[in-house]
Amino acid sequence: MRLPLIAGLSLLLTSPAVADPLEQAVAADLPSLVALYKQLHASPELSFQEAKSAARLAQEAKKLGFAVTGGVGGHGVVAVMKNGEGPTLLIRTDMDALPVVEQTGLAYASKVVTKTPDGVETGVMHACGHDIHMTSWIGTARRLAAMKDRWSGTLVMIAQPAEERGGGAKAMLDDNLYARFPKPDYALALHDAANLPAGTLGYSRGYALANVDSVDILVKGTGGHGAYPHTTRDPIVLASRIVGTLQTLVSREINPQSPGVVTVGSFHAGAKHNIISDEARLQLTVRSYDDATRKTLLDGIARIAKGEAMAAGVPDDKMPVVTMNDTFTPATFNTEPLTGQVAEAFTARFGKDRVVETPAVMGGEDFSRYWLADKSIQSLIFWVGAVPKAKWDAAGGDAAKLPSLHSPFFVPDPEPTLQTAIEAMTTAAFTVLGKGK
């Protein structure tokens, strides 16, 4: 997902983090963490295939004294540490990578090749930074285990499968996550950002990421010779009408102050110049924040597909088939007062020049499900800048000139990204669990 340019972000990160035992401990641990990060980057695994990554995280957590359970919702890992009276905090990392052939040129670039569930051979890459997430999860676990005198309560650290397919959080919850393990009062996660320089943090109030729906439309027709179109019912023409009319859903049917996206990402039909096919297939991604806008868009897609077919004289038995994919990812919402409290703690530690409030984005994140499963939970996901400073400066601070998340060229700057991420997540944990807060 490409994130929007953050206006007003200082190009010079002139406010260093407060020098204290936490910063010094993370810095001392950084060489081993960077080595671990490079190992994880070079060994990516696709969604629901994260066996080796899960085993490594479980091993690290066990060494720190956590009670560790594997195999939750697939390859999910749950690590629990009880440290006296207090609230329960869940900290999540995701583990899966993407079917992307890496083109970074890094010495530790992924050379992994595997097959997708549908049998397509593909390269695999951590093009969304889940290797950064896993490494910072381990770094945070190390700091919290070593600094138990600073906090009180129960820490539940989970390593989640299949975020990229939108199914991992649901799988863990369906595997009775909240019944088998301490149910959280608070939930935290982070995500690296391709639109912020390394060493900075971003956060959003309220909605942070969008509802994500995938929709398939099968447009039926009657095929034949391209020289005699009058003897056919051309599904390509009908599908093209549907694509055009779909654009009015956002421009004319939803409130301009309620964002929405309807994108036709795939249009497949036919195999030869002079043959009119008997079907066309469309694949859509649909984005929204609130439930009402989502319903308007999804209902509208089905209505438009049927209406255009009726206008074209398609008989009832050949109406388009609209299928809503079951990998729906609900919108992610950052709650108050947790968001404000953590943002204040970040600013106190890192300085206001390194902490920015960011607009919500139309990307998706299934971290949302941990809050939706029980809305009494306070929840926050925040951004950690990952762009190397030299590249940020060369682009003039314009993220549109830089590789986005999911790009085969996306390269986080490991040292400052991990240092900031671990300090930030540990600080957020202290904000929730800290003694005398």
Active site residue ranges: 96, 163
Beta strands in 270-419 (DSSP E): 275-276, 279-288, 321-324, 332-334, 355-357, 378-387
Q: DSSP letter at 251?
A: I
Distances 22 to 90, 153, 213, 221, 350 between C-alpha atoms, Å: 20, 19, 41, 65, 12
Among 149, 156, 176, which Cα is nearest to 82's? 156
Beta strands in 224-342 (DSSP E): 224-225, 260-269, 275-276, 279-288, 321-324, 332-334
CA distance 427 to 223: 63
130: helix, strand or coil: helix
Among 138, 144, 141, 112, which Cα is nearest to 127's? 112
Q: Per residue in 140-160, is it b (16+ CB within 10 Å) or e — as a string? A: bbbbbbeeeebbbbbbbbbbb
Element (H, E) at 81: strand 76-83
Going by DSSP bridges, is the β-strand pair 355-357/121-123 parallel, antiparallel, or unpaired? unpaired
Among 34, 96, 91, which Cα is nearest to 412's? 34
- The residue type found at 33 is L
Going by DSSP bridges, is the β-strand pair 153-160/76-83 parallel, antiparallel, or unpaired? antiparallel
Q: Are 15 and 354 in contact (CB under 8 A)?
A: yes
Cis check: omega of the bond before 197, within 30 degrees of 0? no
- The residue type found at 36 is L
* β-sheet bridge partners, residue 227: none
Q: DSSP letter at 183?
A: P
- The residue type found at 264 is V
Q: Are 274 and 239 in contact (CB under 8 A)?
A: no
